[in-house]
Structure 1
Amino acid sequence: MSNYHKFNLFSFHGKMKILHISWLAFFITFMVWFNFAPLLQAVKTSLGLTTEQIKTLLILNVALTIPARVVVGMLTDRYGPRLVYSLLLVLCAIPCFVFAFSTTFMQAAIARFALGFIGAGFVIGIRLVSEWFPHHELGTAEGIYGGWGNFGSAAAAFTLPTLALWFGGDDGWRYAMAVTGGLSVIFGVIFYWTVTDTPKGATYYKSHHVGAMEVTSRGDLWLLTIMKIPMYAAMGLLVWKLSSPAIGMLSTDISYGIYIALVGLYLFDIKQLWRANQQMLIKPVPAIHRYSFRQVAVLNVLYFTTFGSELAVVSMLPLFFADIFTLTPVMAGVVASSYAFMNLVSRPGGGWLSDRFGRKSTLLILTAGLAIGYLLMANINASWPLWSAVLAAMICSFFVQSGEGAVFAVVPLIKRRMTGQIAGMTGAYGNVGAVCYLTILSVVEYSTFFVIIALTAILGFVALLALQEPSGTMAEINDDGSVTLIDVS
């Protein structure tokens, strides 16, 4: 076997080149998406913002990502990762620049809301990597893509404050943020000229519908209709937080108007969904072309718990350590970073374990470990030595992020031409989880917060029992009507 085909992390040829270019693209999207948090104090001072306005910007930063991941997944399946990722990197630099040079809260708020779209970049790479790697390497490859790309947020935290100081002056933060936007544009061009959607000679299977997900049974259509509700409910929850007296960005009338609009969008979405699948309702889909949406639903629930809890915990962990152990903000931030650092090895590790020991069994073990990890964190108090609390956070983090890697070791093995849409919905559920957990955190104690996450992990474990281990082949139809069988086990 030539080096071109081996899984060699130090290679930059063939499929390995695609993997490295992909995780770098994802890394840059996360760097741009989370360039605000490390420069938060400078932004607050420069724009004369209140603490509540800063909190509003943090909420707006993730608000658009839920629908964006679904939309971008559909576009990826239809037009290919090369074009969609390149456009996303270039176009999302615009709100990055607008935020960097904004002078009012409203300008900053609109730009931050629009920047939530870049959080959908993750979905594109999932489809691209799945085109280049065989099933027995797919979990490892997707884990490296997700774990190393995810580290872009930590890279922003480490480098941007230093960069702002290097530029100097009151506007140093502006130039530091603008640098991330410039990187996004440059890499968008590089991505377009160095990537192809598939290996030479392979077919890129496109989804049949851009506006709605395709299912293959009546029961799955009803299940998908139900699974869309939490996504709209989470956006409603964000509206509720923005209209709360503490933030007060939206008036009561405007918030009610948005609630009505969300209900209308949901009904329109369901109408499109049933219209796209009407042929299936009339004539059953041949067995060879069917897939089980139940698989997707289970993965949604698991990603709600894994990535949803990661986003929520990363947001609150510095404050948690500062409060429990009376640490300075800087020390608390350093200690809490141990949780995020695990991403570099945990997520690829979860994918590798799935490749070696089976998708379902790996997920069952990791989900059980996740529940135990959060129950452990619920018991942390001031009597614990600080090192033991950090160790507990790292153990919990291992199971959380390995679980994320294991989830996306399964996603590309369900239906090839719909991988972007499936990844988009599962990825969106991670953001839904974050919104729900952070809302819960605002009304309960730390220990209760961790216990609630553990309980949802137990629910995820029960749901996992309904997951079918990917096996055999999945079928895709070529343009000439012939059928290609793709190995999934």
Structure 2
Amino acid sequence: MTNLNTTKATKLNLLDFKAIPIRTFWITSISFFMCFFAWFGIVPFMPDVVKDLGLTPDQKWNSIILAVSGTVFARLLIGKLCDKYGPRLCYTLLLMLGAIPVVLCGLVQTPLQFLVCRLFIGFIGASFVITQVHTSLMFAPNIVGTANATSAGWGNLGGGANRLGMPLIAAAVIGFGVAEAEAWRYAMVIAGVICFLMGVVYYFFTQDTPEGNFKELRTSGEMITPKKNQIKFKEVIADYRIWILFLVYASCFGIELTVYGTMDDYLQNTFQLERVTAGNIVLSFALMNIFARTLGGYFGDKFGKLKGLRGRVLFLSFMLTLQGIILVTFSTTSSIMLGIVFLILFSLSVQMAEGATFSVVPFINKKAIGAVSGIVGAGGNVGAFLAALLLKSKSAMAEKAAIAANQGLGEDAISLAQAEAASNAVSQGYFIIGIIVVITGMVALAIRFSTQDEKVAEMELKQSVGALVPVKS
């Protein structure tokens, strides 16, 4: 596609609802929020689901793995579709079709049905890619990093807000006379219906670019689509920078998902916190997405103004390296107060690294923003999957050894030994992951832009802030 910079927003004026970019920003952020809300909506109800459907521990873990796996493939596919059909149609269909397995999840009667629904629910995690593509098309180079980071951060809140929101929905339906054991089903159905309605809103109240939709722009000749789209995609995946960013996003967003997914138990086992206390701590840090990811995009834009595209890469490398150092330090902490301090710093740095990543992504290949965003976004889920496997394998081995070594000493002694073994294993896992993140931060420095790319970016930046006045011929 051709560059469409003429009417992109140069400011993130959140109250200018009449402006197409701002209206799109709000709708895509809310849609992303609802997708994540529905994607992880079943998590607060898992004890009820296990009891209702008779899930085995393996089936419970398999449902989590399936949800993440489905997202990887969906993200890889949806980016390419955005380049071809535009983010408006892609998001509309994703919301409407994604609502179906969410609703069906509330109607399942067998473990197999539940697992199938979890697999297809994971597809709505691809909403992240469309959100990044749409904001990239709506905002100018001087603000695109901030816009991308803010929309992604606010959307990610859905993955934490459901821990409060879904139980509230369940409580509301119970108030209307629904049996408590059935409340989780109604909550999932309601979440699915809201996703479907957001699809309707997306279709009628957004457009692909500030100038119009892809279809109309191609008809008028304002946008040119390469005839050999498949060859273009092969050229995209041949760019080494995309795969470095794939690793980078695996090392920030992927690690954030894994750390927050295991942190409740780690805080309980290491610092002897109550489950509710540990859960609230983790939830409060997840809520830092309100501002932390935005900071990453904001400073990415600032470094872009100061040092060009290379400046964006330098800032990304710095934040990722800092994130790894903080995680390594946290893994060796035995004090609850220091632990909380470093967990705050980890939350801040990892989310800023995520924002910084997508302040670089829009400049890799402007003719295939969707494909690039899809590949990089999929890296986050791959990273989460691999990190979870590492922690689970180390923890399982340590716990089995502890149980075997303490046989005959009583249930309390075995539980204590098992908790200590799990804590040590996860601590070692965090340490290893932190080292890998630091190495990835160094590898990120290998991302380079040509002199021509830097010149084009500088010109577009000047245009977006009104510093370059066109000369009439």
Aligned partner of 1:361 in structure 2 is 314
Q: Distance in 2 between matches of 1:207 and 1:153?
A: 37
Matches within 5 A, 1:89-488: 89-168=95-174, 169=179, 170-200=181-211, 203=222, 206=225, 208=227, 214-216=233-235, 224=238, 293-357=239-303, 358-381=311-334, 384=335, 386-444=336-394, 445-468=425-448, 473=453, 487=460
Q: TM-score, normalised by structure 2?
A: 0.81
Q: Which amino acid aligns with 1:370?
A: Q
Aligned with 2:12 (options 7, 10, 14): 7
Could you say if the C-alpha distance between residues 34 and 434 of structure 1 is closer, same or farther in structure 2, counting changes exceeding 3 Å? same
Could you say if the C-alpha distance between residues 172 and 351 of structure 1 is closer, same or farther in structure 2, counting changes exceeding 3 Å? same
Q: Distance in 2 between matches of 1:343 and 1:351?
A: 12
Q: Which amino acid aligns with 2:184?
A: W
Aligned with 2:68 (options 55, 62, 72): 62
| Bigger mean CA offset, 413-422 vs 84-93 | 413-422
8 A Cα contact 2:361 2:372, kept in partner: yes
Could you say if the C-alpha distance between residues 86 and 471 of structure 1 is closer, same or farther in structure 2, counting changes exceeding 3 Å? farther
- How big is the shift at 1:345? 1.0
Q: Which amino acid aligns with 2:14?
A: L
Q: Distance in 2 between matches of 1:422 and 1:310?
A: 21
Q: Which amino acid aligns with 1:327?
A: L
8 A Cα contact 1:93 1:182, kept in partner: yes
Question: Is 2:8 the partner of 1:28?
Answer: no
Could you say if the C-alpha distance between residues 5 and 339 of structure 1 is closer, same or farther in structure 2, counting changes exceeding 3 Å? closer
Residue-by-residue CA offset, 1:418-451 (whole Å, 9 max, x unaligned): 1111111111111111111000001221122111
Find the residue that maps to 1:320 and give its secondary structure. helix
Could you say if the C-alpha distance between residues 199 and 485 of structure 1 is closer, same or farther in structure 2, counting changes exceeding 3 Å? farther
Could you say if the C-alpha distance between residues 316 and 467 of structure 1 is closer, same or farther in structure 2, counting changes exceeding 3 Å? same
| Bigger mean CA offset, 425-434 vs 48-57 | 48-57
Could you say if the C-alpha distance between residues 441 and 149 of structure 1 is closer, same or farther in structure 2, counting changes exceeding 3 Å? same
Q: Distance in 2 between matches of 1:486 and 1:474?
A: 9
- How big is the shift at 1:215? 4.8
Q: Distance in 2 between matches of 1:130 and 1:471?
A: 22
Residue-by-residue CA offset, 1:178-229 (whole Å, 9 max, x unaligned): 111011000000000001101126755646556575355xxx87xx4xxxxx
- How big is the shift at 1:52? 2.7
Q: Distance in 1 between matches of 2:65 and 2:279?
A: 20
Could you say if the C-alpha distance between residues 81 and 474 of structure 1 is closer, same or farther in structure 2, counting changes exceeding 3 Å? farther
Find the residue that maps to 1:416 and give its secondary structure. coil
Unaligned runs of 5+ in 1: 225-292, 477-483
- How big is the shift at 1:328? 2.2
Could you say if the C-alpha distance between residues 105 and 470 of structure 1 is closer, same or farther in structure 2, counting changes exceeding 3 Å? farther
8 A Cα contact 2:129 2:370, kept in partner: yes
Find the residue that maps to 1:171 and give its secondary structure. helix
Could you say if the C-alpha distance between residues 475 and 46 of structure 1 is closer, same or farther in structure 2, counting changes exceeding 3 Å? farther
Find the residue that maps to 1:465 and give its secondary structure. helix
Residue correspondences, number: 405
Find the residue that maps to 1:12 and give its secondary structure. coil
8 A Cα contact 2:250 2:380, kept in partner: yes
RMSD of aligned residue pairs (Cα, Å): 2.5
Q: Distance in 2 between matches of 1:40 and 1:464?
A: 38
Q: Distance in 1 between matches of 2:450 and 2:330?
A: 33
Q: Distance in 1 between matches of 2:68 and 2:459?
A: 36
Could you say if the C-alpha distance between residues 442 and 200 of structure 1 is closer, same or farther in structure 2, counting changes exceeding 3 Å? same
Find the residue that maps to 1:417 and give its secondary structure. coil
Q: Distance in 2 between matches of 1:193 and 1:58?
A: 34
Q: Distance in 2 between matches of 1:421 and 1:214?
A: 7
8 A Cα contact 1:338 1:393, kept in partner: no
Could you say if the C-alpha distance between residues 328 and 373 of structure 1 is closer, same or farther in structure 2, counting changes exceeding 3 Å? same
8 A Cα contact 1:359 1:469, kept in partner: no
Could you say if the C-alpha distance between residues 122 and 34 of structure 1 is closer, same or farther in structure 2, counting changes exceeding 3 Å? same
Unaligned runs of 5+ in 2: 1-6, 304-310, 395-424, 463-473
8 A Cα contact 1:206 1:418, kept in partner: no
- How big is the shift at 1:475? 12
